[in-house]
Amino acid sequence: MGAMCYFKYWLSFLDFAMTERSLRVAAAQMGPIEKGDSKSAVVDRLITLLSLASEDNVDLIVYPELTLTTFFPRWFVENENDLELESFFEANMPSPETEPLFLKAKQLGVGFCLGYAELTEEGERYNTQILVDNVGNIVGKYRKVHLPGHEEHEPWRKFQHLERRYFQAGDSFPTWRAFGGIVGMAICNDRRWSETYRSLALGGAELILIGYNTPIHYAPDPSQDKLASFHSRLVMQSGAYQNGCYVVGVAKGGMEEGVESLSDSCIISPSGEILAEAKTDGDELVIADIDLDICKNYKETLFDFARYRRPEAYKAITNQTGAISPKEL
């Protein structure tokens, strides 16, 4: 009888082990990249972090927004066909400079997520992020939807933020089946908008990967500078909790070309709790073990969309942009 009970317990354990969708993820925070740094030198740094992640049995490593270069939208370039500006973009992926990263990742069997500036065959420019599986295949591509900043030179600023000049906006939040679950991506300013997380969660997302470059000084309202870290974590933690998703937020931070940028890379659980976080402003791995089945604890209870969402009451969200105040009596 005892042996039979043990056998049943072992079968139950095996059943659990077979259904558990565990994953070891790493946020590969980057320190500053100077304007004169070559892409090949940056890729060497990425490969170093990749190799360290592999040694720690990481399944998926996430790099920041515009990983391969300094954050070039901080400078105004009048001619959009300027050769220096074009040098920041990738016409192909993998490119000659990034091919070693793809090869090393395939050799080690580690997947990765990479942000870069994309130039299409039609001449369109996007702030882009790709998801690459553990055999080196690109399985997903996302183009930043919420472009911050401005379009024209504003000399009153300490530095420019010209994403709206150099990039076109993406138009959707796709998700993909990868790494044993459903994965979505977002980039920097996207993380501040609740619609980002909800759109991804409506696509079934369980894991959201977010790269960012965030200057701590916000020229339109410097009173927010001291809240940069709080606000960054606030939106990612609330997005994770309200949508039953894991969130990986990864920065390129530190003092880059005289501009201080936020670090604070972290991995967040569907409860909204921070599982792991960066301790420095430089190149650093932030690693956590996650179980994608935990998402069900929130997706099938408090945030059971099919049961509780009321889209007929949310028409203003998709039918208008700016606020419409009630008329005065």
The residues that are catalytic are 65, 144, 188
> Cα separation of 41 and 324, whole Å?
50
What contacts 247, CB < 8 A, 6 or more positions away? 207, 208, 210, 236, 237, 239, 240, 267, 268
In DSSP notation, 75-105 reads: S--S-TT-HHHHTTEESSSS-TTTHHHHHHH
Q: Do residues 64 and 116 touch, judged by C-beta distance below 8 A?
A: no
Q: Do residues 153 and 76 touch, judged by C-beta distance below 8 A?
A: yes
Which of 267, 266, 270 lies closest to 241 in space, CA to CA? 270
Cβ of 157: how many Cβ atoms within 10 Å?
A: 16
The residue count for the chain: 329
